[in-house]
């Protein structure tokens, strides 16, 4: 990852100018010339072999004019020093044709390198623009939730004995804002269980109907957002149509780790209305399918409630010294005791 970041930073850096460009150009011609001279007794028939890597570097790190000049200078230096007759520029048809071919191949490398530089720059521009739009969207979502909270206060403040309900509503709106933060960032700082599902599901746990059970473990980064989206989709459907839409419904989310790296997570609904297979599949169904970060996804619409099984790879169970109880939100969504439904 460090190497990739370094290469990316070099591709995004502007080409060197004036004095630095001259120094770099001299080094990119002199260095392969010295290497080729040292190898001359061994590889006397391969004139340009030492020059191609430096042409590639010039194509990636310098402007196309600078890289083209380096390629041309390299061809002339190799022709003069290492091709027969030596110490003569373009002394015969063979060395002239070989040099021209080297320069043409080098120009192709320069063109490919410059295309790569522009592509990386375009991708970086798109990434920065998306990050800006995400920040702006998050800002607007926060403002919207703040307006909703203010409207709730104005609506309920004149109703007798509504202070308790108002505080609960404000807490749920804040929890929804916290869950939205996870989706905005594209990754999560901790990316651990149970912390991640606790924060993702807290807005849906209005009456304590959701229970989480499983060992504390660390997830790979690519699994964090897909898991949050999957849990959010399951909880949304449960609130609208499933177990969380009725007073007696409940949801158990349990997980276990096998082979020290594979995690099996189950979403089990119970006590809700009769469940049937949906006729239409919308955008939410795309979130509940195998993808990068979710190795396996199996959703069953049992009559007693929806059951979803997720399998993740690359999971690591936390050791006692790695656990941080203060990192969990102060809610009762997660329990270290085995729930009766999981026994």
**Selected residue with higher pLDDT from 172 and 14:** 14
Q: Widest CA span of the chain, in angstroms?
A: 104
**Selected residue with higher pLDDT from 160 and 89:** 89
- Percentage of residues in the chain with pLDDT exceeding 70? 85
Mean pLDDT of all residues belonging to the chain? 83
Surface-to-core class of residue 263, CB atoms within 10 Å of its CB (0-12 exposed, 13-18 middle, 19+ buried) = buried
pLDDT of 249 over the 50 cut: yes
Helical pair 93-156 and 2-12, crossing angle rounded to 10 deg: 100
How many alpha carbons lie under 13 Å from residue 33 in its C-beta half-sphere?
A: 18
Where along the chain do its domains lie?
A: 2-127, 190-342
Beta strands 250-258; 217-218: pairing state: unpaired
Work out the average pLDDT over 278-289: 72
pLDDT of 301 over the 50 cut: yes
The 10 Å Cβ neighbour count of residue 66 is: 21
Q: What is the pLDDT of residue 135?
A: 80
Over the stretch 200-235, which tens digit does the pLDDT of each residue have?
A: 888 888 778 899 999 888 888 888 888 888 898 899
pLDDT of 330 over the 70 cut: no
Lowest mean pLDDT among 4-13, 266-275, 291-300: 4-13
pLDDT of 342 over the 50 cut: no
Kindly calculate the radius of gyration of the chain based on its CA atoms and give it in whole angstroms: 31
- The answer to whether 313 and 262 are in contact (CB under 8 A) is yes
Over the stretch 103-162, which tens digit does the pLDDT of each residue have?
A: 999 999 999 999 999 999 999 999 899 888 878 887 888 788 888 888 888 887 777 777
Phi, psi of 61 (to 5 degrees): -110, -15
**Selected residue with higher pLDDT from 145 and 250:** 250
Lowest mean pLDDT among 152-166, 169-183, 188-202, 247-261: 169-183
Residue in the structure block whose two tokens are 């002199």 = 30
Its CATH architecture, for the domain 190-342, is 2-Layer Sandwich (3.30)
Distance (Å, whole) CA 11 – CA 114? 10
Confidence band for 331, pLDDT divided at 50, 70 and 90:
very low
Nearest one of 40, 39, 34 to 54, comparing CA atoms: 34
Helix (H) or strand (E) holding 304: none
pLDDT of 334 over the 80 cut: no
Distance (Å, whole) CA 234 – CA 222? 19
Q: What is the pLDDT of residue 152?
A: 81
CB-based contacts of 256: which residues, under 8 Å, 6+ apart?
A: 214, 215, 263, 264
Q: What is the pLDDT of residue 267?
A: 95
Distance (Å, whole) CA 120 – CA 103? 25
> Six-digit token pair at 213?
């059970």
Over the stretch 18-68, which tens digit does the pLDDT of each residue have?
A: 899 999 999 999 999 999 998 888 877 788 889 999 999 999 889 999 999
**Selected residue with higher pLDDT from 281 and 299:** 299
Lowest mean pLDDT among 224-238, 260-274, 275-289, 303-317: 275-289
- Percentage of residues in the chain with pLDDT exceeding 90? 33
What's the order of all strands across the beta sheet hosting 217-218? 192-193, 217-218, 316-317
DSSP 244: G
């Amino acid at each position: 990852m460090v190497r990739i970041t370094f290469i990316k930073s070099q591709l995004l850096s502007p080409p060197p100018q004036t004095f630095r460009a001259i120094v770099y150009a001299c080094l990119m011609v002199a260095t392969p010339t010295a290497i080729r001279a040292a190898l001359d007794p061994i590889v006397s028939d391969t004139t340009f072999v030492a020059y191609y890597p430096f042409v590639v570097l010039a194509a990636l790190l310098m402007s196309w004019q600078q890289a083209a000049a380096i390629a041309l200078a390299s061809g002339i230096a190799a022709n003069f020093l290492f091709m027969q007759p030596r110490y003569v520029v373009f002394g015969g048809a063979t060395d002239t044709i070989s040099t021209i071919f080297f320069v043409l191949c080098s120009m192709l490398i320069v063109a490919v390198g410059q295309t790569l530089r522009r592509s990386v720059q375009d991708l970086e521009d798109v990434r920065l623009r998306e990050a800006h739009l995400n920040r702006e969207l998050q800002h607007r979502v926060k403002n919207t939730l703040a307006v909703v909270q203010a409207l709730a206060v104005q609506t309920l403040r004149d109703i007798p004995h509504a202070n308790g309900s108002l505080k609960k509503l404000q807490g749920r709106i804040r929890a929804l804002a916290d869950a939205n933060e996870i989706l905005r960032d594209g990754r999560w700082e901790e990316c651990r269980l149970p912390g991640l599902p606790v924060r993702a599901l807290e807005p849906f746990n209005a009456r304590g109907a959701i229970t989480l059970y499983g060992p504390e473990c660390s997830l790979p980064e690519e699994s964090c957002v897909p898991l949050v989206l999957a849990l959010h989709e399951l909880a949304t459907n449960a609130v609208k149509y499933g177990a969380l839409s009725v007073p007696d419904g409940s949801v158990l989310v349990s997980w276990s780790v096998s082979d020290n790296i594979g995690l099996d997570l189950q979403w089990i609904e119970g006590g809700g209305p009769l469940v049937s297979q949906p006729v239409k599949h919308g955008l939410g169904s795309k979130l509940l399918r195998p993808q990068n970060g979710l190795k396996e996804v199996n959703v069953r619409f049992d009559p007693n409630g929806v059951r979803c099984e997720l399998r993740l790879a690359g999971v690591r169970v936390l050791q006692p010294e790695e656990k941080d109880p203060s990192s969990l939100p102060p809610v009762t969504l997660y329990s270290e005791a085995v729930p009766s439904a999981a026994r």
